[in-house]
Structure 1
Amino acid sequence: MPRKKGKKGYKATHRLRQRDKDKRGGNAAQNLPSGEAGSLAQLAESYLENLAVRNYTADTIEGRRDALKVFLLWVVERELLELSEITKPILESYQRHLWRWRKTNGKPLGISTQRSRLGTVKDFFAHLVKQNHLPANPASELEMPRPEKCLPQESLSLQEVKQLLNVPDTTDPLGLRDRSILETFYSTGMRRGELAKLELHDLNRDRQTIRLRQGKGHKDRVVPVGTRALKWLERYLDETRPKLLIDPNEKALFVTSYGEAFNPDVLSRMVSKFIKRAEITKPGSCHILRHSCATHMLEGGADIRFIQQLLGHEKLETTAIYTHVSIEQLKAVHSKTHPAEKPPEPRPDDQENDTGNA
């Protein structure tokens, strides 16, 4: 692959998501730079294939592919074509490059993005050592950037949730479908990809549950669906879905106007549009309903371990971040315990005056 020089080549190196999208949000596959047998590119493809054999999710493999593409284009641009040329100082130079890199809006790469890209490179070289392509791992002692402890996006208030749910016109078949989608997101806290993969048999009306198949990390789980959300779902299934179907054998629970299962990107754009129409100034899309579900349940007294199970978090620490978001509980404790919030004790002269007036 010829070396790219100049400003245009520099930018081209870092275009991670140059995807051709059709009008319904489809993505084209991303290819690594081509290479001969034994080249870095060929070894990278072998590494990705190994991830698939080890049952890593398609989303994880795609993310690793994107990260490797950035790294490989960076080394090719510097004519580092041999595996033996990739040393620890070279990798440290790549790490500094990521730290200095600026997006088109002038902002740096997020720490989580830097850690993700470097983590992929470290795992890639560990794989090469295991496969005896290298005698030692040049990335083994690469120090990762310290992670940032950031709060998740602010959740919606109860009033904002009400405003959002009332946006779709439920007298219209598509509006009825959209209302049931919003209600399902808010009731269950599921991810957009999980909702997009729902099939008819995943909904159990009698038990008021939804089965989420192969969620994040290839994990199945069953979540409850509230009475209100279930009523909207039943209306959608009875009144709208039959009108949208083109193929009677379609299994998807929620279908587009094309009669097909939703693409997650389409769901994001749809919910973002509804948030703007509800005149909600907070940024967010499908995930803000997931945050709102967890936060409101926590404020309502739910045990954090039940919320962990609902959201499908592997570690309780992931769910525990919602304890930082739930400011209402902290405000209640603050008002009850802080000395400045306690009513002042009556002074003796005030008591005398009260007795005299009596």
Structure 2
Amino acid sequence: MKHFTLYERHYHRLVEGFENFLITRGYARSSCYNLPRHVAEFLHFLESRQVYALAQVEAPELEAFLDYLQNRHHQRLGGPLSAAYLNKYIQALVRFGEYVQHHQGLSLSVPLKAFKKTETPKIILSPQEVEALYQACTPDPLGQRDRAMLALYYGCGLRREEGERLNLADFQPERGLLYIRAGKTGQDRFVPLTSRVSQDLTHYRDRGRPCFTYQTQSEAFLIRPPGRRVSGQALSLRLKHLVLRSGIGKEISLHSLRHAIATHLWQAGMPLEQVARFLGHRSLESTQIYTHIEPGCGSENDGKTLNHKADEQP
């Protein structure tokens, strides 16, 4: 991504403050890197139009910036920017608006409409396919960590960065809870543990994890030799390995596991509000994106079946 030089010191400080704001709120590393740079491009654009104060920014400036983006080419790939990429700028400006409102008392409350993306079918795992992933885990320490990974990302529905940041002290089996420190929504939360999930995490903590700490101690829950925190990229590679071993024939990510548990819970009859709390969503709109079935498909009997078998999940 191209770096834009800002000549106004005030603008430069705003970008730095915005980045710290995102870090404090627990946004993913990629968001903390990319969103401030999108904002820097916006402020650079304002400077080119001789707009040197946010108080001067009105709808025409925002519309002109979005028009500029739609007409510029991708700096690395060439061709026009995709709707998904353009929406990252919308997200950056919305979050930046929250920042300046809270810290500067300024308002950038001009409504911004998201660009319409081309709909692509979502890849959703069935419960049987999730079970196949569990069965693909080997009994050695690495396989125990793989099973713990599935327990966290499917069984607990964590975001990628939430699993990366998880510490030993956050796993509280005696209370039947997993503590998730402030994440994307800026709020801490607790995720309830089924006995099966708790058992898998305990087994990894007590037996598998010590095999990775032969040189150094670490507070991280998911670790690699010699005791360092496992990155989301490394976990994604392990998931691809499980997909190959299971033979399910789908290209999935850690986030697909989060989508899967949301869909399975709703399909089993869990109210959308409860699914939202489980996922750590602030809005039901976000949860509706995750649940890839029509409302009303989950039956009362399905809900009872899931509740009865919740502690028997693989």
Q: TM-score range by the shorter chain?
A: 0.7 to 0.9
> Higher relative CO (CA 8 A, sep ≥ 6), structure 1 or 2?
2
Distance 1:269 1:71, change over 3 A: farther
Deviation per CA, 1:181-218: give whole Å up to 9, x if none: 11332211111211111111211222322111122222
Between the aligned partners of 2:15 and 2:91, the Cα distance in structure 1 is: 14
* Counterpart in the other structure of 1:251: 219
1:156 aligns with 2:129: no
1:298 to partner: Cα distance: 1.4
Work out the CA distance in 1 between the residues paired with 2:156 and 2:83.
Answer: 30
Structure 1 counterpart of 2:236, from 265, 268, 271: 268
| 2:191 partner SS | strand
Contact 1:196 1:263 (8 Å CA) reproduced: yes
1:116 aligns with 2:76: no
Whole-Å separation in 1 of the counterparts to 2:180 and 2:51: 45
Quote the Cα distance in structure 1 between the aligned partners of 2:123 and 2:241.
Answer: 18
Alignment partner of 1:97 is 2:68: yes
Q: Deviations over 1:21-45 (max 9, x none)?
A: xxxxxxxxxxx54445x35xx5133
Q: Distance in 1 between matches of 2:121 and 2:283?
A: 16
Are the aligned partners of 2:178 and 2:192 in contact in 1 as well (CA < 8 Å)?
A: yes
1:238, CA displacement in angstroms? 2.2
Q: What TM-score does the superposition give when structure 1 sets the normalisation length? A: 0.66
Secondary structure (helix, strand or coil) at the match of 2:224 reads: coil
Q: 1:70 Cα shift? A: 3.9
Q: Which stretch has the larger CA shift, 233-242 or 284-293?
A: 233-242
Hey, what does 2:310 align to over in structure 1?
none
Deviations 1:79-111 (A, max 9, x none): 667638988666544312322455528574124
Pair 1:166 & 2:138 matched: no
Q: 1:261 to 1:51 in 2, by over 3 A?
A: closer
Percent of aligned pairs with the same residue?
25
Aligned 8 A contact 1:192 1:268 in 2:
no
Match in the other structure for 2:308: none
* Distance of aligned partners of 1:210 and 1:298 in 2 relative to their CA distance in 1, 3 Å threshold: same
Match of 1:241 in 2: 209
Could you say which structure has the larger radius of gyration? Answer: 1
Q: Deviations over 1:198-256 (max 9, x none)?
A: 11121122232211112222211111222222222222122221121145541111111
| Distance change (3 Å), C-alpha of 1:87 and 1:227 | closer
Q: Equivalents in 2 of 1:154, 1:327: separation in Å?
A: 16
Of 289, 307, 313, 2:275 maps to: 307
Deviation at 1:68, TM superposition (A): 2.4
* Matches for 1:264-343 after TM superposition, within 5 Å: 264-323=232-291, 325-326=292-293, 330=297
What TM-score, normalized by structure 2, do the two folds share? 0.74
- Are the structure 2 counterparts of residues 250 and 284 from structure 1 closer, same or farther at C-alpha, using a change threshold of 3 Å? same
- Alignment correspondent of 2:33: 62
Q: Which amino acid aligns with 2:82?
A: L
The answer to whether the 8 Å contact 2:217/2:227 transfers is no
Q: Match for residue 226 of structure 1? A: 194
Q: In the alignment, is residue 198 of structure 1 matched against residue 166 of structure 2?
A: yes
Contact 1:198 1:254 in 2 (8 A): yes
Q: In the alignment, is the contact (CA less than 8 A) between 2:136 and 2:245 conserved in 1?
A: yes
1:215 aligns with 2:183: yes
Give me the whole-angstrom Cα distance separating, in 1, the residues matched to 2:50 and 2:191: 50
CA distance in structure 2 between the aligned counterparts of 1:124 and 1:187, rounded to whole angstroms: 34
Runs (5+) with no aligned partner, structure 1: 1-14, 17-31, 334-358
